Amino acid sequence: MKEKPQGKQRLAVIESPIYSDLIFQVALKNNYAQKIYDYSGKKKSASVISRQLDILEREEGFLKSETKEDKTVFPMQKLRVYSVNWNKIVREFIRYVEKNIEYVLSENKRLGMNLDKIIKGFNERIEKSKDKKFQEDLCKNSYLQIFFEEYYSEIARLKERWTITATFDFLSFFGNLNFIYQWGSSHDFYNIEKVFYILNQSESTFPEWIGTEEEPKTKEERLERSEKIHKHINTEFKSLEGKRENQLKEILDNHKELVELYILDRILQIIKIKPSLQLGLNNATNETGKAIFKNIIDKDQVKKYFELRKQYNINQ
For 179-222, how does the pLDDT look when each residue is reduced to its tens digit (9 = 90+)? 888 766 656 667 888 888 777 766 656 666 666 677 777 888 77
Regarding whether 282 and 262 lie in a shared domain, the answer is no
- Whether the CB-CB separation of 125 and 267 falls below 8 Å is answered with yes
Q: Is residue 181 part of a domain?
A: no
Residues 198 and 262 in one domain: yes
pTM score: 0.79
For residues 68 and 101, membership in a common domain is answered with no
Inside any domain, residue 180: no
Do 21 and 11 touch, CB atoms closer than 8 A? no
Q: What counts of helices (H) and strands (E) characterise the chain?
A: 14, 2
Distance between CA 267 and CA 269 in Å, rounded? 5
- Which domain-ending residue is among 127, 146, 174? 174
**Does some domain include residue 316?**
no
pLDDT number for residue 196: 81
Segment 172-185, tens digit of pLDDT? 998 888 888 876 66
Whether residue 40 lies inside any domain: the answer is yes
Average pLDDT (59-78) is: 80
Whether 1 is in a domain gets the answer no
In a domain, 5, yes or no: no
- Return the pLDDT at 231: 77
State the residue range of the domain holding 148.
88-174
Same domain, yes or no: 216 and 253: yes
- 256: Cα separation from own chain's centroid: 18
Shared domain check, 97 and 80: no
Domain membership of residue 8 (yes or no) is no
Name the nearest CA neighbour of 33 among 17, 10, 57. 57
Does 36 fall in a domain? Answer: yes
Count of domains observed in the chain: 4
90-143: per-residue pLDDT in tens? 999 999 999 999 999 999 999 998 999 999 999 999 999 999 999 999 999 999
